[in-house]
Structure 1
Amino acid sequence: MLLGRADEVATIDALLAAARTGRSGTLIVRGEAGIGKTALLDHAARAATGFRVLRGTGIESETELPFAGLHLLFTGALEQLDRLPPVQARALRAALGLGEPAAGDRFLVGLAVLTLLSELAGDGPLLCLVDDAHWLDPGSAEALLFAARRLEAEGVVVILAAQEEDFPAPGLPELRLDGLDETAAGELLDQHASDLPHHLRDRIRREARGNLLALRELPQVWRDGRSVRLDQAFVDQIAELPERTRTLLLVAAADDSGDQQVVLAAGGRLGCSARDLEPAERRRLLRPADGGPEFRHPLIRAAAYRAAPLHRRIAAHQALAETYAERDNVCARAWHLAAAADGPDERVAAELERAAELDRGLGGYASVAAAYERAAELSPDTGERGRRLIAAAEAAADAGRPERAEASAHQAELHRTDPEAQGRIALLRARLAEERNRPMAAHRILLESGDARMLFWAVESAWAAGDLAAAELAAERAPDGAPARALALAATGLNHTRPGGVAEGVTAVRELLAGGAADPIRTGLRTAWWYLLLGDHARAHELACTIERSCRERGAIGLLPHALALLARTEAHLGRRHEAVACGTEGLRIAEDTGQEAAVGPLAAVLAWAAAVAGDRGRCTGLIAPARTPEHGHGAVRARAALPLLELGLGRHEAVLALLPDILACPNRMDFRSAFPDLIEAAARLGRTEAVEEPLYRYTEWAERIGQPWAEAVALRCRALLASDVEAERHYRDAVALHREGNGRPFERARTELLYGEWLRRERRPSEARPLLRSALEVFEPIGARPWTDRASAELRAAGESAGPVAGDVRTRLTAQELQVVRLAAGGLSNRDIGAQLFLSPRTVGYHLYKAYPKLGVSSRNELARLELAAEGS
């Protein structure tokens, strides 16, 4: 038992016990240097009997080398790479420098790490330990955290030790270490300082403040007759070593690649040999390790480097650069040359640029940014410095580091004023603003660039922010016939900014669609949303399926949340609420894990709609609350548009109508168009039809212009609610016929049938009402629309028919994750293929199937086919 760490040890032991039963777990251990993080990792390794153990350490000198941390961690496990899906295997091989460059989505390596961890746990539980995780290179850290968040049923435990707040890992469990209490500190000193007088032991305890390393090391400092800080004590100990030993320690501290041969070869260039390590080993500054002696603590490594004068550090880096040149390691050579440079040097800057492009092939975008930043610092020519800074900014943006990208872009502006460079900087800044969900900031950046090619995106950003006047002003700068003008017409027209504008808006959207889509994903996403503006859900869904499938096949995890938001929206429109929730839930999880704020709004909007349909007030309002921001995008507005549907379903008609002023005042009125029928129904219930004349006019005009039968049917339903009896029946009858002709928007069709059935029952025509009410119930119940199911059931009973339960939809029994897994399994995919598509490990896929089978009343994959659950395109 570690002194004073009983609770912490129990936490780790519980994780190990759960892994023995197949459950996975992750823990971030935080605390200052020397507080005992490594001791806890050592305990975990000792306690992990029956586990395969992987252990790695973040190295400060390697924080800019792409995937250096993963390389050290998985060195003994590379035989499993052949078992990964091909796309993942290529990405991880490239990242580890074992294959051809495979640049792509930066999160694909994380998915490969997840699958590899699952494979390594195939013969028993796996323990993965990483010390000094705050020194991991960004690519390795991101990949490990991505994998850790998706561990469920693999029997894998991941424990990462890091200093305080230097290693952000939101959403993962943390264990914070404070100093040992007085009792534990005293017991430890009894073990390590029993020969010292009590007054010295008391002084050491006060100075150590519970720091485990200090309690162990300071007694020897006092024995040596000194009283200094712990880090200075290490400096002093190293200073007492022979010169060649100090030199070899310096080389190891400057590199510490884990390869003893590299250190010895570089040391040999400076007149050192392996025997020169012996004095450091005797003083316990080094400890034995598989690859050769290693520093016993990071503070010792830091002291070995800090204690050396500048000229000796330069010599160490030059020796390492020459050693790596012999091994054809371009990246390591470039970084050591850069560390040895004492001023601008174009030759070294060019070497770093070459290393950056090699890093790009590995998918290490953070390393690309770092290499270009350092290359810029070493560039004697101002123009070259600016060019490299732009490249650094773009790579930092690709790496998901917006602050670093902004800083490099700002510096680049000072060195490059030519139009081409300024245009790249403007596009980059606009992109960063969009990703932070700040569309008007992006609009201003694009407009101020003065580049006519950016006017289309400037209009799009202003529309997303709801500033239609800004969209129009931007479009006026574009020549006649330019797409920017059509986009502005679409924005202003569909938002009813002027009489007759809807017709212009619809025409403009069709004109934009006629222009085609060059990029199957990025432009395709925009095209699919335009189809939704025209109410063409079938075309939008077809395109959404293609885009989502392409994202999964390419491992484009960064774009997948946007594709899932689109797919979820179309699934919802087509009446597949459970599928919409599954897509939205997956997308929201990925968006939050990867920091993609712009995707959160559209995903929350679909999930808020699904919660509103189910009458789940807590879930719906919880999703809507974050959308109340001053500069919201389309998605945030759509999330709020679910509130009228929620209140209507719960029978709170006054609450629905109270939302009308805010809805009409919203610049992006079209985002609330789906709520207009809810407002009209609530007003009709309250007898306040005059309040909804404007929403009725707007919805009807749009429905007539887009020419979709389902939309015209909803418009007729709204007219029926406000009409006299004779006109109401005609409108209802025509609406039902249009719904069945177009076969679109089943939920809206069921609402129309419910209202018509209610009207017929009140007119004492129950036999005509019953088929309509039964048809509505058959839509409401399977999708989990509880308030609407209750209402239709009550009406059916009042019409003289017992409303027995409709044959239940098996999808209601599954969680969102289980539904996705089951649908793909029903389509014939293996656990490995399903995991690759859903960014889960194969073992987690198997776990979800194991839980789903009893809920569905099946016992094998073969039986799933009869349930008609297969995903489209599987």
Structure 2
Amino acid sequence: MSGRGHGQSLRGRDGECAELREFVAAVRAGDARALVLRGEAGVGKTALLDFAAQLATGMRCIQLAGVESDMELAYAGLQQLCAPLLSGLDDLPQPQRDALSVAFGRAEGPAPDRFLVGLAVLSLLAAASGDQPLLCVVDDAQWLDQVSVQTLGFVARRLVAEPVGMLFAVRDTGVEVLPGVAERTVGPLSDNDARALFESVMLGGVDPQVRDRVVAETRGNPLALLDVPRNFTATELAGGFWNVGAQTVPARIEESYARRIASLPEPTRRLLLLAAAEPLGDSALFLRGAARMGIAVGALAPAEAAGVVEFGPRMRFHHPLMRSAAYRAAEPADRRAVHGVLAEVTDRTVDPDRAAWHAASAAAGPDDDVAAELEASAARAQSKGGLAAAAAFLERAALLTADPVVRGARALAAAQAKRDAAATDAAYELLTVAEVAPASELHHARVARLRAQMAFVRSRAGELGAPAVGDVTADLLAAARRLEGHDDFASREAYLEAIAATIYAGRLGAPDALARAAEAARSALERTPELPRAVDLLLKGVVDRITGGPGAGRESLRAALSAMCALARSDERQVMRWFVPAFPILQESTAHELWDETITQELSAAVVREARRTGALAGLPRALVYRAGFHVLCGEFGTATTLLHEAAAITAATGHERPVRYHSVVLAAWLGDAADTRARIEAARADGTARGEGRLLGLTAYATAVLSNGTGRYEQAFAAAGEGCEFEDFGFYSWCLHEYAEAAAHLGDQDAVTWAVGRLEERAGASDTDWGLGALASARAFLSGEPDAEARFTEAIERLGRTRAVVHLARTHLSYGEWLRRANRRVDARRHLGTAHDMFTQMGAQAFAERARRELVAAGNKVSKQPTGAGSALTAQEAQIASLAAEGLTNQEIGAQLFISAHTVEWHLRKVFTKLAITSRRQLRTATWVS
């Protein structure tokens, strides 16, 4: 490449260089930027990173390059990047400081949550950019350890108001390394640019036909072009004998490096292998290894002269493929010998995990001592939150274990760790190893349960080739049965998982699947004289409800949820233990079956508080969605929207789960934007059908009924609610009944109203709560033969007025007002219709507000249409920040809660002040806003 001085362009890279100039200029001007350069090996990504670093005059620049052999060590890459910034560690809030210290091995403690680590890194970068803009340059990001790359992706997506630029280069392997970060594809050079580059390095000239063949066979890859004259003689090139064959560009480049290395003296090659096997480039460690091998460091000189490696404070290969070539070109026995040397010279008190890893790589066969060291390393990695590293250590430990029983146990532990680290293929391979082990029945039952759990997750994620959600039930039931008598606690949990899977399958599952799952669980419960845990009581209550029908199991269900609430009040850490993927549906649906919004309020608040306190990576999105459902019920649509947006952002950032559709679809229906809601409903229906998740079809039917009743399309509401009532989906079936009764009443179908009210009496009527009895009273008022309709409406308003179920209260005011208008009692009608209109307008329910407005006009009131969001509209995040600031939280405290930096909080607050025309945080306490 030419022209690599400051401000100059690389050959054939005018577009990329222009974008990088703009990128660096924007960061220098105070903006936050993040960009990924993606392309094949040798295409020039590293040269572009160097170009950007040279542009960063007057800025601070920190750099990092991923190393393939270091991928399994948690936080290894992140620690190298942050090393120059750790002087600011003491200025971080204590939770962030502690999390980062444990992650980097500077302190001991429980596993740090990745969100806290990510926020700590974000705070470090923000602080480092306080005096001058900061540019972070990360090469070969695909070779960073999983935790580091996820953390850096989290930070890159959270940069908003900091003068920080994050520039990554990744090899194009077809896998998205940093989802959600802007990308620029770096393609091959054009033929003209490739010819010019090739000619520039051919000092003696080259035949045009040979040149064109070289350009064609290298496919415009700059590094391949530059390496041709280094690896082939002038005679070969002049005669056109060079032939790269059909290898890929990286393979050809690595092969050319291997040939170059093969020409070096044998002691030099051995030192290169030592340097390649030691991923940190630690010169002191290299020198100790060379001394142990009995080779003078001067033997490295030919490699330095050949441009392969640079010996300095750190060992540095001139290209990552040179490191790979030096390692792969060696014989397996030589590699094992070098790793053995590195295991010996690595200080086990300082870096026991890397020593164990080298020892494992040196092993030629089973080695129980090394396997035990790896198992200990896995525990340490787990304590630092390094799931990927723990999984790698356990996997290697299993392979090195001679005893087949112990090997099976370690393979099962490794499979569980791989599953948690989202390495599904490796988890299945390890499960196969665990399955063939001559172990106990308990071991094999645990294997069966893990396989069924993984199948459930795959089905809900909609993976290609995954079984339908309902098909997993049989496997979960079989695992639960196998666990009986060996681990009864785990057995009951597995039964609960099987029931949850069946509930998700809903109408798309086998007709009797839920009853069969409940009966199987009942048999296990009958053999258990005492149910010591809240989860056990939950299982009993769910089983009684399924087998006994509406009203059954209420005592056990209420006792289970009350016990959970009590435990949450005494120790909120308990709540996250119940928030594994299968259980939230049972918690939430059970509270709805009991018509008890206070339980939902308490449990959802506790889960969110604990998830935020610890920054729980897997549980926080589900916790936020759980809480959002409660706010929808309360008519607090702005807060629900904020929580759902946050959950979606975290889900996108982690990539661990699919976006959650349930509450977002219901919220859209209540908001009343018909086009947006129908699009969401269609997408959700298609998703549910593809996955075999019938519950999602029932939910979309309910949402369609809500939207249609709101817009006054009662025939559509009647059809949709009828579809929803064809199958009893726990948690919202009774709500479908209410929508069905209201639509039928408007259509004059009293037989349908009578049917719906009768079934609602069996459910809500047995609730003994103001929410349930209030909803039932409002439905009874739809009966045309009801002599006490007015008393029913009054009772419903009184009961619902004592609850947080604001959406149902507003609906009752609307229905009462409509009934009064039809009775020609216009003054009374206007009072209730006005109340309904105000409530719907305040919560942002456009369709219902418009329905109430039309009724008010018909009752003699002149009400003009008001655009939703009138006044100073804040975004969801701005509204959340404004609310927290109004409560007196500092910028740093707000940032800690929302996983953004204090700079970003300040930036949002400036926008809030402008929109609300205020000048101080104190004024937020009395200001009102629409989000």
TM-score range, shorter chain: over 0.9
The answer (yes or no) to whether the contact 1:528–1:543 under 8 Å persists in 2 is no
2:371·2:401 contact (CA, 8 Å) conserved in 1? yes
Among 463, 476, 489, the residue aligned to 2:503: 463
Over the aligned positions, Cα root-mean-square deviation in angstroms equals 2.9
1:549-569 CA distances to partner (integer Å, 9 max, x unpaired)?
Answer: 111112213211121122111
Q: Which residue of structure 2 aligns with residue 394 of structure 1?
A: 416
* Distance in structure 2 (CA, Å) of the matches to 1:635 and 1:123: 52
Deviates more, 1:771-780 or 1:521-530: 521-530
Does the residue aligned with 2:575 lie in a helix, a strand or coil? coil
Structure 2 match to 1:620: 677
Partner of 2:747: 686
CA contact (8 A) 1:397 1:405 kept: yes
Specify whether residues 19 and 232 from structure 1 end up closer, same or farther in structure 2 by C-alpha distance, changes over 3 A only: same
Residue 477, structure 1, aligned to residue 507, structure 2: no
User: Aligned pair 1:723/2:723, yes or no?
Assistant: no
Distance 2:736 2:758 in 1: 14
Letter of the 2:708 counterpart: E
1:503 equivalent to 2:575? Answer no
Return the alpha-carbon distance in structure 2 between the equivalents of residues 567 and 670 of structure 1: 15
1:114-193, aligned counterparts within 5 Å?
114-164=122-172, 165-193=174-202
* Matches of 1:858 and 1:224, distance apart in 2: 75
1:261 to 270, 284, 308: 284
Q: Do the aligned residues in 1 keep the contact of 2:793 with 2:816 (CA within 8 Å)?
A: yes
Aligned in 2, Cα 1:313/1:474: closer, same or farther, shift over 3 Å?
same
Structure-to-structure mapping, 1:587-602, within 5 angstroms: 587-597=647-657, 600-601=659-660
Instruction: Tell me the amino acid that sits aligned with residue 430 of structure 2.
Output: S
TM-score when scaled to structure 2? 0.87
Structure 2 equivalent of residue 315 of structure 1: 337
Partner of 2:12: 4
From 418, 423, 427, the equivalent of 1:405 is 427
User: 1:586 Cα deviation (Å)?
Assistant: 1.0
Of 679, 683, 701, which aligns to 2:762? 701
Shift of residue 486 of structure 1? Answer: 6.6
1:521 maps onto 2:576 in alignment: yes
CA distance in 1, matches of 2:517, 2:171: 47
Aligned 8 A contact 1:506 1:534 in 2: yes
Q: Is the 8 A contact 2:701 2:724 kept in 1?
A: no
Q: Superposed, which structure 2 residues align to 1:783-794 within 5 Å?
A: 783-794=843-854
Q: Where does residue 643 of structure 1 map in the other structure?
A: 704
Identify if the C-alpha distance between structure 1 residues 587 and 3 changes in structure 2 by more than 3 Å, giving closer, same or farther. Answer: same
Alignment match, 2:219: 209
Q: SS where residue 535 of structure 1 aligns?
A: coil
Distance 1:293 1:738, change over 3 A: closer
Say whether the 8 Å CA contact 2:218–2:224 is kept in structure 1: yes
Secondary structure of 1:29's partner?
strand
Q: Give distance in 2, aligned partners of 1:535 and 1:285.
A: 72
Q: TM-score, normalised by structure 1?
A: 0.92
For residues 706-764 of structure 1, the C-alpha deviation after alignment (integer angstroms, 9 at most, x for no partner) is 12223322322222223148543332233223333x24312211111122112222322
Distance 2:274 2:411 in 1: 30
Q: What SS is found at the alignment partner of 2:136?
A: strand
Please report how far the alpha carbon of residue 103 of structure 1 lies from its aligned counterpart in structure 2 after TM superposition. 0.9
Aligned to 2:32, which of 3, 21, 24?
Answer: 24
Is 1:762 aligned to 2:822, yes or no?
yes
Helix, strand or coil for the counterpart of 1:129?
strand
2:355 to 312, 329, 333: 333
Distance (whole Å) between structure 2 residues aligned to residue 669 and residue 689 of structure 1 = 26
What is the match of residue 77 of structure 1?
Answer: 85
Report the alpha carbon displacement of residue 102 of structure 1 after superposing the two structures with TM: 3.1
What is the CA–CA distance in structure 2 between the aligned matches of 1:695 and 1:126, rounded to whole Å? 64
Note if 1:657 corresponds to 2:687.
Answer: no
**Structure 2 Cα separation of the partners of residues 182 and 870 of structure 1:** 57
Select which of 219, 230, 255 maps to 1:220. Answer: 230
Q: Is 184-193 or 690-699 further displaced after alignment?
A: 690-699
- Alpha carbons of structure 1 residues 5 and 806: separation in structure 2 relative to 1, 3 Å: closer
Determine whether 1:710 maps to 2:750. no
Counterpart-to-counterpart distance in 2, 1:21 and 1:752: 56
Map of 1:349 onto structure 2? 371
Take 1:252 and 1:45, find their aligned partners in 2: how far apart are those partners?
A: 26
CA change 1:574–1:523 in 2 (3 A) is same
Structure 1 match to 2:483: 451
Partner secondary structure for residue 380 of structure 1: coil
State the AA in 2 paired with 1:67: Y
Which of 374, 388, 392 is the equivalent residue of 1:366? 388
Task: Tell me how far 1:811 sits from its aligned partner.
Answer: 9.5
Matched with 1:734 is 795
SS of the counterpart of 2:63?
strand
What amino acid sits opposite 2:381 in the alignment? D
Tell me how far 1:238 sits from its aligned partner. Answer: 1.4
Deviates more, 1:563-572 or 1:16-25: 16-25
Amino acid at match of 2:295: C
Alignment of 1:297-308 (within 5 A): 297-308=319-330
- Kindly indicate whether the alpha-carbon contact (under 8 Å) linking 1:582 and 1:820 is maintained by their aligned counterparts in 2: yes
Are positions 1:235 and 2:245 aligned together?
no
Alignment partner, residue 420 of structure 1: 442
Further displaced range: 309-318 or 220-229: 220-229
Corresponding residue SS for 2:834: helix
Per-residue deviation, 1:548: 0.9
CA distance in 2: counterparts of 1:416 and 1:140, whole angstroms? 38
Q: Please report how far the alpha carbon of residue 697 of structure 1 lies from its aligned counterpart in structure 2 after TM superposition.
A: 2.0
Distance 1:225 1:388 in 2: 58
Distance 1:18 1:529, change over 3 A: farther
Distance 1:437 1:638, change over 3 A: farther
Q: CA deviation at 1:647?
A: 1.7
Q: CA deviation at 1:527?
A: 4.8
| Partner residue in 2 for 1:282 | 305
Secondary structure at the counterpart of residue 588 of structure 1: helix
| 1:100 is the counterpart of 2:104 | no
Check 1:152–1:621 CA distance in 2 against 1; reply closer, same or farther (3 A cut): farther
User: 1:529–1:108: structure 2 CA closer, same or farther, 3 Å change rule?
Assistant: farther
Question: Would the alpha carbon gap of residues 473 and 417 (structure 1) be closer, same or farther in structure 2, given more than 3 Å must change?
Answer: farther
Structure 1 residues 798 and 844: CA distance shift in structure 2, 3 A = same
Deviations 1:521-578 (A, max 9, x none): 2337665653333122123212221221111112213211121122111111122111
Query: 1:605–1:636: 8 Å Cα contact kept in structure 2?
Result: no
Instruction: Give me the whole-angstrom Cα distance separating, in 1, the residues matched to 2:594 and 2:87.
Output: 53
Q: Which amino acid aligns with 1:262?
A: L
The 1:311–1:513 alpha-carbon spacing in structure 2 relative to 1, beyond 3 Å, is: closer
Distance in 2 (CA, whole Å) between partners of 1:850 and 1:639 is 40
Shift of 1:167: 4.9
**Cα distance in structure 2, aligned partners of 1:633 and 1:680:** 23
Return the alpha-carbon distance in structure 1 between the equivalents of residues 37 and 930 of structure 2: 42
CA contact (8 A) 2:277 2:327 kept: yes
Q: 1:15 to 1:783 in 2, by over 3 A?
A: farther
* C-alpha separation in 1, matches of 2:517 and 2:538: 9
Query: Per-residue deviation at 1:579?
Result: 0.9
Does 2:922 match 1:862?
yes
